Amino acid sequence: MQRGEISMTKRKDIHFRIEEKLLARFEAALHYEGLKKTDVLTHAIQQFCTKVECEKMNDVK
């Protein structure tokens, strides 16, 4: 998507709780790398889904 374009993808919010120290570490790492929470978490979720989907395809039951 190019700058200024409107995404037609439907988005949903998710909320979860994590340990305060882990959140502080995460935020410090984000700041150091110049990244946004949404980008990092979305990428991690995509990788996890791809991994599980590949495992499911190779799972013979």
| Position 58 in a domain | yes
Please say whether the beta carbons of 55 and 48 come within 8 A.
Answer: no
Residue 47 in 3-state DSSP? helix
Asked whether the predicted pLDDT for residue 4 surpasses 70, the reply is no
Residues 6+ apart with CB under 8 A from 53: none
Q: Is residue 5 assigned to a domain?
A: no
- pLDDT, one tens digit per residue, over 11-25 is 899 999 999 999 999
Q: Which among 20, 22, 21, 40 is positioned nearest to 30, based on CA atoms?
A: 40
**Domain housing 59:** 36-61
For residue 46, tell me if it sits in a domain.
yes
pLDDT range class, residue 6, cuts 50, 70, 90: low
Determine the Cα–Cα distance for residues 35 and 38; give it in Å rounded to an integer: 9
Greatest Cα pair distance in the chain = 47
Per-residue pLDDT tens digits for 16-53? 999 999 999 999 999 999 999 999 999 999 999 999 99
In a domain, 57, yes or no: yes
Q: 42 in a domain, yes or no?
A: yes
Does residue 56 fall inside a structural domain?
yes
Q: Is residue 52 part of a domain?
A: yes
Check residue 20 and give its pLDDT: 98
Q: How many domains, the chain?
A: 1
